[in-house]
Amino acid sequence: MAYWLFKSEPETWGWDDQVAKGDAGEEWDGVRNYQARNFMREMALGDRGFFYHSQSDKAVVGIVEVCAEAHPDSKADDPRWECVDIKAVRPFQQPVTLDQIKADTRLSEMVLVRNSRLSVQPVTETEWRMICAMGQTDPD
DNA sequence: GCCAACGTTGGC
DNA sequence: GCCAACGTTGGC
């Protein structure tokens, strides 16, 4: 199983919106960046991801699961844009902020730190476990 | 609100 | 195919 990170502005689409969709999940639509799209193409059913709030929050706030593999983005007028569906699994007991992540040198290689603008990114298993621990949240 | 980083577009 | 111009994102 692979691990990922999904970034969203909470004012546009936040964790609460994601939770409201329940197990049916929701398309992770709106990605118009090839790198991010390509990562979504690599995702498999059951892969896990962090749900990250950018801008005002700048924190990992929950865990999501891929519940549909890449398919055309229903909101795009161009079929080259694809996306997966994700559903909320559980919230973080304690959100893990970008400051905390940056403060830990073991996480300095994270894409979140190195390329802050990429909205969909891979996370290593080590990073996954470390951040779950920081958030006092079950990683599985 | 500013600006750095980055991606995309379009003229040549 | 290069590169300048421009737009967007997101941290500060």
pLDDT tens by residue, A33-53: 999 999 999 999 999 999 999
The Å distance, CA of A35 to C1' of C6, is 21
Could you give the CA distance from residue A83 to residue A112 in angstroms, rounded to a whole number?
Answer: 20
Flag whether pLDDT at A2 surpasses 80: yes
* Nucleotide of closest approach to A32 (CA, C1'): B7
- Cβ of A99 near strand B (distance < 7 A): no
Determine whether A40 is exposed, middle or buried from the number of CB atoms within 10 Å of its CB (0-12, 13-18, 19+).
buried
Tokens 């865990």, residue? Answer: A63
The Å distance, CA of A131 to C1' of B10, is 43
Nucleotides on strand B lying under 7 Å from protein C-beta: 5-8
Give SS3 for A112.
helix
- CA trace torsion A44, A109, A125, A119 (10° rounding): -30
- Cβ of A126 near strand B (distance < 7 A): no
Flag whether pLDDT at A79 surpasses 90: no
- Cβ of A53 near strand C (distance < 7 A): no
Q: Which of A111, A21, A35 is nearest to A68 (CA)?
A: A21
Q: What share of chain A is helix, strand, coil (3-state, %, to 5)?
A: 30, 35, 35
Give per-residue pLDDT as tens, A47-77.
999 999 999 999 999 999 999 999 999 888 7
Tokens 């830990």, residue? Answer: A104
Q: Average pLDDT of A99-104?
A: 95
Flag whether pLDDT at A123 surpasses 90: yes
The Å distance, CA of A33 to C1' of C4, is 21
Q: Which two tokens stand for residue A91?
A: 């919230």
* Nucleotide of closest approach to A34 (CA, C1'): B7
pLDDT attached to residue A7 = 96
pTM exceeds 0.85: yes
